[in-house]
Amino acid sequence: MHVSHDRAEESFEAKARWFQTLTMDERLDYLFELMDMMAENDNKAVRPIDVSAFKGCVQILRLP
């Protein structure tokens, strides 16, 4: 693995290439870590949702 502190390597494309090297489990861990950090820093980001607004809007899909 190559570690760099060059700002030129912080492009969106470079980040996407790095993210693609992660396994699915590592990607999910990263997602959950970001979600936890967001919830800790902005308690409005994680709030109860009024699910009655979604009544009848669920579509169930089945594999063939």
The domain ranges of the chain are: 7-46
Separation of alpha carbons 17 and 2, rounded Å: 12
Query: Residue 45 and residue 35: Cα distance in Å, rounded?
Result: 9
pLDDT in tens, the chain (64 residues): 566 777 766 788 888 888 899 999 999 999 999 888 888 887 676 667 776 776 676 667 787 7
- Tokens in use for 46? 């994680």
**End-to-end CA, the chain:** 41
- The residue whose two tokens read 């919830």 is 39
> Do 38 and 47 contact (CB within 8 A), yes or no?
no
The pLDDT, as a whole number, for residue 20 is: 93
pTM: 0.51
Check residue 33 and give its pLDDT. Answer: 92
